[in-house]
């Protein structure tokens, strides 16, 4: 059995950045179930948030993040994010990330719910792709071992400490085992649980299911962020239309051409994502059409083509010139605020196991992620993970500032009349019953279906069956959490409990019995 100091599961920015830092302290193996280029990171258009301008500060960044989190952001984690962000930008620049500049300084833009311009971008709307390509190039230069098309299927533990990983070779079907001192989960999110998503096909919640089955705690699973503006064209998969398009002055109009966001919120297009997503959904239902329109035709065409070249080119390739025609959009699943529960050093409740990136729940995002904080959270806490593994006498952990309540996935009654389990049936059911607008009745129906599918699952043998099994488990964690939380907070909205309640000012934590 091959043995490494660090095994990193995932090849997005979280995995690559962690691996590059860990390389200075021992041997590193990266496991990627696809190619090293298959990840959410390269799809991140909006950018990365850091208080680097003269008119900004870590304190203001902190306050904006706390406000977006609807009372459930961990203040200590947010302080760390806001304080460390400028230094992590410096690290990325040293690695070679080509952030856009204007008159010799890094260009900054503003996105919804930020009180000032603090969003750095690269290649206009290709920020994620530039960071991913830069870090993957550095990985190759460092000669870090990467096993592609190798799906982690089990975390091996001994006395509640990680000892290694079992993984499936997706080409040969063989199972391999690797030993390690430290395991870092950086496997991304769970967007593919839903019929409409901005995520690529690899976002199948593998890390959450892996960790949960190993005994790790997961938290805040009810908080799924739905991006308000994904391209909705017949025959075209949903494609993210960045938050920054509205930040640059894009206007949302209904089928009649009327600007409608003022009917729902005084912040109009610059309200938090959850508010904009729900407003669009209400407007869609009111007008009876499947989409609304994001209009940038009033802006200078060269501003659109230079600031959003990727969006402009994708739409043009599908017959839509966005400088002349409004963009048809509708909400889509985008980001998982919940995940594997960590402290502010990325540690889980399993010894020697850490989590970073979207798979982790650090508490930064609370009930609703502030735009462009996700990439920054990834590199801030990846850095802290490596620091934790290399410091014998680490500083004491701060006391939890938000209470937690522990739950288990109890056995539920298996029902007979359920649709056959397929990826499409799972995604449709989650979109309809556990989507943007939820209710107790729909959530109970979803739990019954998921429990039955879980009961009928056969032992996974290949990548597809492993992914489907992971998605059913994670979907149940999302649904059970949403059913428990009898209030509306951030991205979680209950039609039968439409108000925020102080009783639910707590984290819902699940652990396997």
Largest CA distance in the chain: 66
Asked about 232 being catalytic, the answer comes back as: no
Rounded to the nearest 5°, which phi and psi values hold at 509?
Answer: -115, 130
Bridge partner list, 179: 3, 164
Rounded to the nearest 5°, which phi and psi values hold at 363?
Answer: 95, -5
Closest alpha carbon to 41 in 274, 356, 391: 356
Residue with tokens 């080119």: 313
Given a contact cutoff of 8 angstroms between Cβ atoms, the answer to whether 119 and 44 are in contact is no
Q: How far apart are CA 29 and CA 22, in angstroms?
A: 10
CA 113 to chain centre: 18
Residue-wise over 237-253: b if at least 16 C-beta within 10 A, else e?
ebbbbbbbbbbbebbbb
Given a contact cutoff of 8 angstroms between Cβ atoms, the answer to whether 388 and 354 are in contact is yes
Rounded to the nearest 5°, which phi and psi values hold at 337?
Answer: -70, -35
Rounded to the nearest 5°, which phi and psi values hold at 294?
Answer: -100, 115
> Residue 435: CB partners within 8 Å, gap ≥ 6?
194, 226, 333
Collapsing DSSP to helix, strand or coil, 421 comes out as coil
Closest alpha carbon to 49 in 116, 148, 138: 116
In the chain, count of helices (H) and strands (E)? 13, 21
Q: How far apart are CA 462 and CA 172, in angstroms?
A: 10
The CA distances from residue 37 to 28, 33, 478, in Å, are 18, 11, 28
Residue with tokens 């297009």: 269
Annotated catalytic residue within 88, 110, 273, 438: 273
Q: Please spell the DSSP secondary structure of 92-156, one letter per residue.
A: HHHHT----EETTEE-EE--TT-SS--EE-STTT-HHHHHHHHHHHHHHHHT-EEE-SEEEEEEE
Burial class (CB in 10 A: 0-12, 13-18, 19+), 196: buried
Strands 108-109, 161-169: pairing kind: unpaired
Given a contact cutoff of 8 angstroms between Cβ atoms, the answer to whether 126 and 116 are in contact is no
Strand extents, DSSP E, 318-414: 327-336, 339-341, 353-355, 360-361, 404-407
Residue 386: other Cβ atoms inside 10 A? 24
Looking at the annotation, which residues are catalytic? 273
């Amino acid at each position: 059995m091959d043995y490494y100091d660090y095994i990193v599961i995932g090849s997005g920015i979280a995995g690559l950045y962690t691996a590059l830092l860990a390389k200075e302290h021992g041997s590193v193996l990266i496991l990627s179930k696809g190619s090293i280029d298959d990840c959410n990171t390269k799809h991140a258009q909006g950018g990365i948030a850091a208080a680097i301008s003269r008119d900004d500060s870590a304190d203001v960044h902190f306050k904006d993040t706390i406000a977006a989190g609807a009372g459930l952001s961990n203040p200590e984690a947010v302080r760390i994010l806001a304080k460390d962000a400028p230094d992590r930008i410096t690290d990325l620049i040293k690695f070679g990330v080509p952030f856009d500049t204007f008159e010799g300084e890094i260009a900054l833009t503003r996105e919804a719910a930020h009180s000032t311009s603090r969003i750095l971008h690269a290649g206009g709307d290709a920020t994620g792709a530039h960071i991913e390509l830069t870090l993957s190039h550095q990985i190759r230069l460092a000669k870090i071992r990467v096993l592609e098309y190798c799906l982690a299927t089990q975390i091996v533990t001994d006395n509640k400490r990680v000892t290694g990983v079992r993984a499936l070779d997706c080409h040969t079907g063989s199972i391999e085992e690797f030993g390690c001192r430290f395991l870092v989960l950086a496997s991304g999110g769970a967007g593919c649980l839903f019929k409409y998503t901005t995520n690529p096909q690899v976002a199948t919640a593998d890390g959450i299911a892996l960790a949960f089955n190993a005994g790790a705690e997961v938290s805040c699973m009810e908080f799924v962020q739905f991006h308000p503006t994904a391209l909705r064209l017949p025959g075209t998969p949903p494609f993210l239309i960045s938050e920054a398009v509205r930040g640059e002055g894009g206007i949302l109009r209904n089928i009649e051409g009327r600007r409608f966001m003022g009917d729902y919120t005084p912040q109009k297009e610059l309200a938090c994502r959850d508010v904009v997503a729900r407003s669009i959904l209400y407007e869609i239902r009111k007008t009876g059409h499947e989409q609304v329109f994001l209009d940038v035709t009033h802006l200078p065409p060269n501003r659109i083509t230079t600031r959003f070249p990727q969006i402009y080119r994708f739409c043009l390739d599908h017959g839509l010139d966005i400088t002349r025609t409004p963009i048809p959009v509708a909400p889509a699943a985008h980001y998982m605020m919940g995940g594997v529960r960590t402290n502010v050093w990325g540690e889980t409740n399993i010894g020697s196991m850490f989590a970073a990136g979207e798979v982790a729940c650090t508490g930064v995002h609370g009930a609703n992620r502030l735009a462009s904080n996700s990439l920054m959270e990834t590199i801030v806490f990846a850095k802290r993970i490596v620091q934790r593994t290399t410091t014998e006498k680490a500083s004491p952990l701060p006391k939890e500032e938000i209470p937690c309540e522990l739950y288990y996935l109890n056995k539920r009654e298996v029902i007979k009349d359920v649709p056959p389990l397929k990826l499409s049936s799972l995604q449709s059911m989650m979109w309809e019953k556990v989507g943007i607008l939820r209710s107790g009745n729909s959530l109970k129906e979803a739990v019954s279906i998921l429990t039955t599918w879980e009961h009928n699952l056969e032992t996974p043998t290949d990548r597809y069956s492993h992914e489907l099994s992971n998605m059913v488990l994670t979907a149940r964690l999302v649904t059970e959490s949403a059913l428990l939380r009898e209030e509306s907070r951030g991205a979680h909205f209950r039609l039968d409990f439409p108000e925020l309640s102080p009783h639910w000012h707590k984290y819902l934590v699940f652990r396997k019995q």
